[in-house]
Chain A
Amino acid sequence: MDLSIIEQLITFVTIPFQSFLTIEIFLIFIIFLIFLIYNEKRNNKKVKISLSALIIFFFSLLVFYFSEDISFVLSEIVKTVIRCFYFPNIIFYIFTAVISLVLLIYTILKKNLTKLNKIITYIFSIIHLYLFTNFISLAIINNISLVDTANIYKHNNMFVIVLFSQIIFILLIIYKVIYHFCYIRYEKLKNTK
């Protein structure tokens, strides 16, 4: 951590040659790269398929050997997502409020959006921002420090407000994503016709 830039560079360069395993891994990746580049010229379909299969096999092997660690990492990732949903820290919560605000302003200013889309976005964004404002005002009234996450969620009111605002935010995002995809598909269809 306390290395200088030159030391960092030297370490980076020497990493592939630290053990037999690292040399092996380095060579495998180099071979993959050479084959991929070389095949770009020849454009052989068989090489493409076999290389893809080899890459999948190689990573499957890694997954097999480190399955316990990988399942631990995956469960940690899911736990982080669950944590962000039920007990988001204040930075994440502010971030969601900012997204909501940007979406609201964008919807107000954008002209070629349908009325239904605008109304749905207004409803979700306004409820989300209302809950966020309520959250802040409750924190001020009860003198709750927002720095420590546990300090926020030991108050049931705060927990409920955050939970509902997260639900609203997720609904807003899901709606926006679905609308966006449908809109793109519709536009594509229109253009092809």
Chain B
Amino acid sequence: MQKRNKNMRSQLFKVGFFFLTIGILVFISTPLVKLRDEVFEEMRLAIFQLNINKNNKNNTTINNVNTENLEVTAENNEEAKKNDKKANYSYIGELSIPKIKLRRGFVSKESKYNNIQYNVAIANEADYPDVDRGNFILMAHSGNAYISFFDKLYKLEIGDEASVSYNANTYNYRLTNIYNQAKIGTVSIYRNQSKKALTLITCTNNDDYNQTIYIFEEI
């Protein structure tokens, strides 16, 4: 009888241990996948930097920047995960914001991966960073999703710095303005036209109806 009880306890212990292991695996799988993606992103950026090293050797408004699909849903998050596994692309530049430890590459405007489902996307209306007095506009999702590359942007304050590496040059910017606009599919960008600018657009933190525009000016 005692032996049977002991066996029973041992079996119960094994089953409990099995379910505990499964539970832990399920619990840690999402953060692990996120960390894995970060490691892959780092490697993509390192490859981008390597390619760069090899190759080296006034108020105005730009209206109607299309910001449709800036909304992230569970379905497009899943779709992006699937797409990212198939995606094979190389970056043409890198956005870096040290304060929020953001380092993210971007592809050319013509690339099919210039899409917020894959990357930080360049707006069609944007100029590249090497254009004199141009405005380089980047958009990405925010929130908790896998593709929320601008999830910590809300922590930025006026005066924070950002830099963009493009065509073997680094452009340094300082945050000068932050404002919100309603999500209506387009945003108006107000910036000093006499200076080169970097504009970041993402959904407002904890707000389903607005999007936030961050205006940086070249230092």
Number of A-B contacts (CB under 8 A): 33
A8 within 8 A of B: no
Interface size class of B (residues with CB under 8 A): 10 to 19
A82 touches B35 (CB 8 A): yes
CB-contact partner of B39 in A83, A148, A150, A154, under 8 A: A83
Given the complex of chains A and B, what is the CA–CA distance between A153 and B31 in angstroms? 24
Given the complex of chains A and B, what is the CA–CA distance between A15 and B19 in angstroms? 47
Given the complex of chains A and B, what is the CA–CA distance between A176 and B119 in angstroms? 41
CB contacts (< 8 Å) of B49 on chain A: these are 150
CB contacts (< 8 Å) of A150 on chain B: these are 43, 46-47, 49-50
Give chain B nearest CB distance to A132 CB in angstroms.
Answer: 20
Chain B residue at smallest Cβ distance from A151? B50
Main secondary structure of the interface of B (DSSP, over half): helix
B39 touches A82 (CB 8 A): yes
Give chain A nearest CB distance to B181 CB in angstroms.
Answer: 32
Chain A 139-180 interface residues, beta-carbon cutoff 8 Å to B? 148-151, 153-154
Given the complex of chains A and B, what is the CA–CA distance between A132 and B50 in angstroms? 24
Which of B31, B39, B46, B51 has the most A CB atoms < 10 Å from its CB? B39
Given the complex of chains A and B, what is the CA–CA distance between A79 and B41 in angstroms? 12
CB contacts (< 8 Å) of A133 on chain B: these are none
Offer 8 A-B interface pairs, CB within 8 angstroms, sorted by A: A83-B42, A86-B36, A86-B40, A86-B43, A87-B43, A153-B47, A154-B47, A154-B50
